[in-house]
Amino acid sequence: MSTLGPVRRTPARRPRWLVAVLVAVSMLVLFAIGFAASLLVGGQSSTGVVAEVTNEGAVDGVVVEGTAEPEPCETTLVAPAETLPRADSVVVNVFNSTQRGGLAGTTAQDLSQRGFRINKVENDPLGVSLRGVGEIRYGPNGADNAQLLAFYFPGAVLVDDGRSGPRVDISLGRGFEAVEDQGLVAATLASPSPSLSGPGCPGE
């Protein structure tokens, strides 16, 4: 009798469909792990970067709302002489609103000596009688001229009559005595006072 050795069994092969399923599952798991890792790294990098914002509020060309600092509003000392016109650039009509003869003529001479350019010298064309120092009449284009003239007639009332030109009128009333001394006017015009300036000021 011949003796037979141990019989070797051929290992069973896995079905092809099972192999395909396992490969697919493995790929999905790897993809999920890679995607999660990319999200984690991306989130850390975005929170760790500090963007430099320019004064215009732009970050790498993208406008960021509300990042620019507000413009300042500063208090400065400004003298009237720095903002008001010179007397030789102001044309004045001198009117007499009283019963005192020659009042407009003498006042016009005083203003001329102070550098003003005199146009009309006559009785008030409005035919009114003023009790106070007088009225300085002007329009929007002569507002600064009227402000300058007011330094020479303390107490006079500024009246905007809506005229279109820059000329101003001084209509003298019964309370007028004399044109203010040139030295006092010059000192007042040179005296600075606080003024708000800057793009952040109200109304700028």
Tally of CA atoms within 13 A in the half-sphere of 15 that contains its CB = 3
Q: How confident is the model at residue 12 (pLDDT cuts 50, 70, 90)?
A: low
Higher pLDDT, 193 or 139: 139
% pLDDT > 90, the chain = 55
Answer whether residue 28 shows pLDDT above 80.
no
Asked if the model's pLDDT at residue 57 lies above 60, the reply is no
Query: Given this model, what pLDDT does residue 43 score?
Result: 52
pLDDT for position 18: 60
Mean pLDDT score of the chain: 80
Q: What pLDDT does 1 receive? A: 45
Task: Report pLDDT for 48.
Answer: 43
User: Could you report the per-residue pLDDT of 58-95, keeping only the tens digit for each?
Assistant: 445 555 555 567 777 877 888 999 999 999 999 999 99
- In three-state form (DSSP H/G/I as H, E/B as E, the rest C), the secondary structure along the chain is CCCCCCCCCCCCCCCHHHHHHHHHHHHHHHHHHHHHHHHHHHHHHHHHCCCCCCCCCEECCEECCCCCCCCCCEEEEECHHHHCCCHHHCEEEEEECCCCCCHHHHHHHHHHHCCCEEEEEEECCCCCCCCCCEEEEECHHHHHHHHHHHCCCCCCEEEECCCCCCCEEEEECCCCCCCCCHHHHHHHHHCCEEEEECCCCCCC
Give the model's pLDDT for residue 71.
76
Residues comprising the chain, all counted: 204
What's the pTM value of the predicted model, to 2 decimals?
A: 0.62
Give tens-digit pLDDT for 144-171: 999 999 999 999 999 999 999 999 999 9
When mean pLDDT is compared across 59-68, 110-119, 123-132, the lowest value belongs to 59-68
Q: What is the per-residue burial (b if ≥16 Cβ within 10 Å, else e) of 172-197?
A: bbeebeebbeeeebeeeeeeeeeeee
